[in-house]
Structure 1
């Protein structure tokens, strides 16, 4: 599976899968990234792709020394299930 990338021009993290794109929209705030919406194409749902996308996004946010604000339910749920990212929660 491809790597998650930060499409800065569209303010979203993206993951290419089988010719489609799963994405997580974000807004920047001082010292943090607010993930506002995640979307996986219907044909790709139920396969862990959104989790891979969010994991990659969180790793990039950590590498940039920023915090994350979960602005959508999927990210809230992901963070609850993955305490290894608790240090990123603003």
Structure 2
């Protein structure tokens, strides 16, 4: 399991492996988190980092009582495949 951190300055959840960073970017309007992009560089592909970042971001929204807008197709597909996150949709 990768170590994922919340970088509030850059508005993203991220993990860095061997000096390469994968991240999920967002905006926060106070009540709704809009998840824009899930970026996993090709050097880090195939490790499940996109799923790990998405789960972390969705759990973050849940724990902070926020709703989610999945502007990223990867995140929308993840929510479709994991119905426990449906209640987070704005």
TM-score by length of structure 2 reads 0.90
Corresponding position: 1:69 with 2:69: yes
**Could you list the runs of 5+ residues in structure 1 that have no partner in the other structure?**
none
Alignment of structure 1 residues 1-90 onto 2, 5 Å:
1-90=1-90
Aligned residue-pair number: 90
How far apart are the structure 2 equivalents of 1:51 and 1:40?
10
Q: Which runs of 5+ in 2 are unaligned?
A: none
Give SS of 1:3's match. coil
CA RMSD of aligned residues (A): 1.3
- Provide the TM-score with structure 1 as the length reference: 0.90
Secondary structure in 2 matching 1:84: helix
